[in-house]
């Protein structure tokens, strides 16, 4: 699958995934195994190269033991003046 274009939202969301993962002492592989996703997908998401679906947001939140809103809250403030 081709890498998708990065956006400020995807990059901020990915940074939150990475931060929560590291806070729990998980590797990308460990997180992937816990939520049933491929490790490459986790890396792509953390770099903002994936448009993560609602289903996968819920899987990630469950695996990271956070509310889904914690991964999303405040991202709307990153909307650029010209939406890509």
pLDDT in tens, 22-43: 999 999 999 999 999 999 999 9
Task: Give dist(CA 23, CA 9) in Å, integer.
Answer: 21
More confident residue, 3 or 67: 67
> Is 1 a member of any domain?
no
**How do residues 48-62 score in pLDDT, each as one tens digit?**
999 999 999 999 999
Q: Which pLDDT value is given to residue 14?
A: 96
How far is residue 40's CA from residue 38's CA, in Å, rounded to a whole number?
5
Report if residue 83 sits inside a domain: no
Domain count, the chain: 1
CATH code: domain of residue 62? 1.10.260.40
Question: What pLDDT band is residue 77 in, cutting at 50, 70 and 90?
Answer: confident
Query: What is the per-residue pLDDT for 1?
Result: 56
Is the residue at 52 inside a domain?
A: yes
- Check residues 14 and 76 and name the one with the higher pLDDT: 14
Q: What is the pLDDT of residue 81?
A: 63
pTM: 0.86
Q: For residue 41, give its domain range.
A: 8-69
- Give how far the C-alpha of residue 31 lies from the chain's centroid of Cα atoms, to the nearest Å: 11
Max Cα distance, the chain (Å) = 38
Query: Is residue 28 one of the residues assigned to a domain?
Result: yes
């Amino acid at each position: 699958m081709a890498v998708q274009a990065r956006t400020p939202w995807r990059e901020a969301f990915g940074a939150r995934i990475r931060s929560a993962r590291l806070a729990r002492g998980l590797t990308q592989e460990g997180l992937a195994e816990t939520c049933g996703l491929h490790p490459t997908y986790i890396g792509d998401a953390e770099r903002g190269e994936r448009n993560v679906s609602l289903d996968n947001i819920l899987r990630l939140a469950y695996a990271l033991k956070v509310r889904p809103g914690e991964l999303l809250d405040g991202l709307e403030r990153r909307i650029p003046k010209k939406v890509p």
